[in-house]
Amino acid sequence: MTRRKRYSKEFKREALRRANENGVTDTLVAEEMGFSTRQLRRWRDEASQHGEEAFPGQGNAHDKEVMLLKRENAKLKQEWDFLKEAAAYFAKESK
């Protein structure tokens, strides 16, 4: 299984800038830079929807912190469910 290629924010912005030049087609830019025209359309859509907020990238500290907190939250929910089941079991046994 191949891993998806990840492009930097600067690479995406450069591709979009190049595609907006006069006389340059999306196909030409995609071939020159090594990705599909469909990918260029996705980037254009994201840039038009989010403006400067587009292409936040991966690996910033906030994203990592959120991921770790979600993982910890899931683990704590599992532990809580287990403890509730154990408490119910022992309450039933003590009667």
Buried b (16+ CB within 10 A) or exposed e, 48-84: eeeeeebbeeeeeeeeeeeeeeeeeeeeeeeeeeeee
Give domain 1-58's CATH number out of 1.10.10, 1.10.357, 1.10.1220, 3.40.50. 1.10.10
Q: Which residues of 10-24 are buried (b: 16+ CB within 10 A; e: fewer)?
A: eebeebbeebeeeee
Spatial separation of the C-alpha atoms in residues 27 and 23, rounded to whole Å: 12
Q: What is residue 5's three-state secondary structure?
A: coil
* Ordered per-residue pLDDT tens for the chain, 95 residues: 677 778 888 889 899 999 999 998 999 999 998 999 999 999 999 889 888 778 776 555 666 788 888 999 999 999 999 999 999 999 888 76
Domain residue spans of the chain: 1-58, 59-95
